[in-house]
Amino acid sequence: MSLKLKKGVNKQSAYNLRDPNLDYEAAHTLSIIVDNESGVLARVIGLFSGRGYNIDSLTVAEVDPDGHRSRITIVTTGTPKVINQIKAQLNRMIPVHEVIDLTLKGKAVQRELAIFKVVANGNQRVESLRLADVFRAKVVDSTLKSFTFELTGTSEKLDAFAELMAPLGLKEIARTGIVALLRGDNSS
């Protein structure tokens, strides 16, 4: 009756079988309105890790203190099928009131804030300040050996600035992750 399988013949992962027609993956920005109660972020994050979804960026803060509502903005990557699953799974959670797919809904304003610490002398120091001016970054702290810049913009803009600063003495970066809202007069 035995199938006489040789040991170690399973080269393929089972996951390859599950979805043979892999669709293209795309990044989606989801805006999730939740009750601001203890554990709500853990629920959302737990859903992503438990079901194997990606989180590229995540921000959360209370946006309606009277209604105790927070907005969670998550950037995630997946096939259309996976993105639909994520939205359906999120919608199923009791403290989740609304899930808005900003990527599907139309144009959205997406912004991120970052702080860069650049330690340099001489020409490099001057050059970092000049480039910061080009990017309209603000100097929020300074010593004789360093500048700390604050920059707000799209994630790409922040990436570009970080790349330019790297050879000029960039020591540390702190980024907030993306926040986003729909353009236009519609509330999302």
Partner 1 sequence: MGILGGAILPIYDELFQQKKIKHILVRHEQAATHAAEGYARSTGKIGVVFVTSGPGATNSVTGLTDALMDSVPIVVISGQVPTFMIGNDAFQEADTVGITRPCTKHNWLVKDTNKLAETIHKAFEVAGSGRPGPVLVDVPKDVQFASGCYTKKNEIKKNFIKKDPSIDLNMLDEAISRLELAERPIIYSGGGVINSGQSAVNSLRNLVAGTNFPITSTLMGLGSYPASGKNWLGMLGMHGTYEANMSMHDCDFMLCIGARFDDRITGRIDAFSPNSYKVHLDIDPSSINKNITVDAPLIGDVSQILSVLIARWKERGSKVNKKKLSAWWKSINNWKGIQSLGYENSSSVIKPQYAVQRLEELTKSYNRFVSTEVGQHQMWAAQFMGFEEPNRWMTSGGLGTMGYGFPASIGIQIAHPTSLVINVAGEASWLMNMQELGTAVQYQLPVKQFILNNERLGMVRQWQELLHGERYSHSWSDALPDFVKLAEAYGIKGIRCEDPAMLDDSIREMIDYPGPVIFDCLVEKHENCFPMIPSGKAHNEMILGEQTEENSISDEGAVLV
- Residue numbers at the binding site for partner 1 (CB under 8 A): 1-5, 9-14, 16-21, 38-39, 42-43, 46-47, 50, 81, 84-85, 88-89, 91-95
| Min dist. Cβ of residue 93 to partner 1 (A) | 8
The two tokens of residue 18 are: 């599950």
Q: Pick the closest to residue 59 from 188, 179, 180, 150 (CA basis).
A: 179
**Closer to partner 1 at the Cβ: 88 or 166?**
88
**CB of 95 vs partner 1, minimal distance in Å:** 8
Q: How far apart are CA 121 and CA 104, in angstroms?
A: 47
Of the pair 10, 123, the CB lying nearest partner 1 is at 10
**Closer CB to partner 1, residue 84 or residue 121?**
84
Q: How far apart are CA 73 and CA 53, in angstroms?
A: 15
- Report yes or no: 32 and 74 within 8 Å, Cβ to Cβ: yes
Amino acid at 64: D
The nearest distance, CB 188 to partner 1, in angstroms, is 19
Reduced to 3 states (helix: H, G, I; strand: E, B; else coil), residue 32 is: strand
Residue (23 or 163) nearer to partner 1, CB = 23
